Structure formats: C-alpha cells, structure tokens
A and B are shown apart, each in its own frame.
Chain A
C-alpha cells in the first residue's frame, strides 16, 4: 500500500483545487462544489491518519468521518436551498451580481 504522505499530498492537492474553485468561480453552485471538494479532502486525511495511526483497531477515525459526511450533507442541502432562494429573488446565481443585503 502507498505510504502515508502520498495520501496527504493527494488530499492537499484536492484541497487546493477546491479552494481555487471556491475563490475564483462566479457561480454560487460552483463555489459550493469547491467547498465539497475541500470537505472531502479533509475526510481523506482523517481516514489516512486513522489507518496509519498507532491504534487503528479503535474505530474513532471512522466514526469521525461518518459524522463529517453527515454534516457535509446537511451543509449541501442548506447551501443549495439558499442558492435556489436567491435565484428566485435575483434571477441570477452570479455572485458578482449579489451585492445587496436588502433587495
């Protein structure tokens, strides 16, 4: 199996791609996709550290990732509902055009 730092560097790359997407894209849904990529990179780190840690027979890392996946699912649902709500209001998902709090 690959050594631990392969997984860590892979997840750093994935995190950087997600961060770049979230910071540069104009579409709100693409920003959410970037955030999902970052969350997934963190999950992979959790699992890699759990597997290579001193006590992989304690399932703490797995449980943590299960909770993290649940939180990410809730975040995605609320985030996409917000995007749809804003789209109804402004007829756009372009973040550069959403510049007023009280529309």
Chain B
C-alpha cells in the first residue's frame, strides 16, 4: 500500500508542478488532468468511491475541458518572447514556501501522526443518497440554486457584447 501511495503521490505532484510551470498552456491543462486523476486515485484509496468517481466526472470530464476551451478561445499571439511569470515571482514563491513550512511543521507536531486507521466504513452510494435526501436536503437545494445562478451568470458574462 505504501508503494502505491508513493507512486501516485510522485506522479500527481510532478504533474501539478508541470501544470503551473510549463510555457504552453495546452500542456498545462493536460498536466492538470493527470493531477486530477491522481487525486481521484487517492480518494479511491481512502475508501471514498463515490467522491473518487465524482472527481473523475466533474474535474476531468468538465473542469479540464472547460479550461481547454478557455485556453483555445483566448489564444493570443503574445508568445514566447515575454517572461513567463510576473515580476515579483520571488515573493510569490517565498510566500508559498512559508505556507508549506507552516503546514508541514504543524502536521508533524500534531496528534495526527499516531492516529490508527478505523475499520473500513460502509459508505455505499445508497447511504450517501439517503443522507443527501434527508439530513442534507437544504444544502442540496442551495447548491442547486448556486449552480443555476453560476450557469446563468457565466452565460451572461461570456455573451458577445453588443456593437454600439
């Protein structure tokens, strides 16, 4: 199990690094897809089957495709001559390193180190569905409203402007 963990982690982190550092935007989007797939594998490894498949459907199936569409629609000739990153890139990287250091230190000094794995829970899709339709029905409706608003908003924002 440890080996699987390290293989998936290495693949995912490498593709994530490539996704934010490559020059060609389409390559970035493809590497991002690999990252999402690796995360889905982690979800499956952690016995969250439904979330793993939802991750594949939503992220690889929808978000990655959406990003590719946006990249192709906004393809401009501003190309290779320009520097890749903003002028203050050193500040950004140091802030990220600082956040990483704080997170890792607090993880390693917390009580999470020696937590034992509980026995495998029974989380069938049926049970998740029952919970969604009974206890969490109000958040579900709010979510539906939010998604509808986001859909309409995205269409209105991206609509062609009227020629004046």
Contact = CB atoms under 8 A, between A and B. Distances in A.
Contacts of A84: 70, 73-74, 157-158
Grouping DSSP codes into helix (H, G, I), strand (E, B) and loop, the A interface class, with mixed when no group exceeds half, is helix
Q: How large is the interface on A (under 10, 10 to 19, 20 to 34, 35 or more residues)?
A: 35 or more
A57 B122 contact: yes
A23 B155 CA distance: 28
Q: How large is the interface on B (under 10, 10 to 19, 20 to 34, 35 or more residues)?
A: 35 or more
Interface in A4-27: 4-10, 12-21, 23-27
Contacts of B76: 87, 91-93
Given A15-B103, A88-B161, A33 B113 contact: no
Nearest to B95: A23
Nearest to B42: A44
Main secondary structure of the interface of B (DSSP, over half): helix
A29 to B, nearest CB: 6
B88 to A, nearest CB: 8
A101 B138 CA distance: 38
B2 A2 contact: yes
Interface string A40-76: 1001100110111110110101110111011111111
B5 A6 contact: yes
Given A7-B46, A23-B96, 5 more contacts: A14-B35, A23-B93, A33-B28, A40-B59, A52-B112
29 contacts: A3-B115, A8-B112, A10-B9, A17-B17, A20-B20, A20-B96, A24-B92, A24-B93, A25-B86, A26-B85, A26-B86, A30-B20, A33-B28, A37-B32, A40-B59, A43-B39, A43-B51, A43-B55, A52-B112, A53-B118, A63-B131, A70-B58, A70-B147, A74-B150, A77-B151, A88-B160, A91-B76, A93-B76, A96-B86
Interface of B: 1-2, 5, 9, 12-13, 16-17, 19-21, 25, 28-29, 32, 35-36, 39, 42-43, 45-48, 50-51, 54-55, 58-59, 62-63, 66-67, 69-71, 73-74, 76, 78, 82-89, 91-93, 95-97, 99-100, 103-104, 107-108, 112-113, 115, 117-118, 121-123, 127-128, 131-132, 136, 139, 143, 146-147, 150-151, 153-155, 157-158, 160-161
